Structure 1
Amino acid sequence: MFFFDVFGWVKNLKDGRVEAILEGNEENVSRLVEWAHAGPANAIVEDVEIRNEKFTGEFSKFDVLY
């Protein structure tokens, strides 16, 4: 997801939901969140829930966790 220039991680949960932690500048994170409302091709997105937290700077890359 470097095309969004954000850091953190994303993973699929067993119940079909997707969870992510994102860090980056506000514009880039907002672009990724906007994209998440549609999702990738063939995805069915029912809801996007956002929780803002304090920036920690702990991430230096973006990982897809399994």
Structure 2
Amino acid sequence: MQKCLECTVFGRVQLVMFRDFVMRKARTRGITGTVRNSPDGTVFLCAEGNEEKLRELLALVYRGPLLARVEKVDAVWKDCLGERQSFDILY
């Protein structure tokens, strides 16, 4: 089943290649969406795809890349709109 996952990731998640990490993990799982840094120091991602693959991605988001320190993840599940064709970093 196609779903949408929106996450705000807190902790040391900027300047540690977090967005690139999420993009690579999403693309290898066939997930579409976007990831961006927020002005408050968090990272926000919106991902669409197979629910099982999104759950895999969410588990990886909690871990993060080597230099990151994830303190909290606020995750919201929504129905998928199927609007995205790729997974990209927004600047």
TM-score w.r.t. structure 1 length?
Answer: 0.92
Q: Which residue of 2 aligns with 1:9?
A: 34
Q: CA deviation at 1:4?
A: 2.5
Whether 1:62 and 2:87 are equivalent positions in the alignment is yes
- Partner of 1:40, secondary structure, is coil
Question: How many equivalent pairs are there?
Answer: 66
More helix by share: 2
Counterpart position of 1:32? 57
The normalised TM-score by structure 2 is: 0.69
Note the aligned Cα RMSD (angstroms): 0.9
- Cα drift, residue 14 of structure 1: 1.6
What is the match of residue 44 of structure 1? 69
Can you give the 5+ residue segments of structure 2 that lack an aligned partner in the other structure?
A: 1-23
Write out the 4+ residue segments of structure 1 that deviate beyond 4 Å after TM superposition: none
Three-state SS of the structure 2 residue aligned to 1:24 is: strand
Percent identity between matched residues is 36
Aligned: 1:19 with 2:36: no
Residue segments in structure 1 that go unaligned for 5+ positions in a row: none
CA distance in 1, matches of 2:37, 2:44: 6
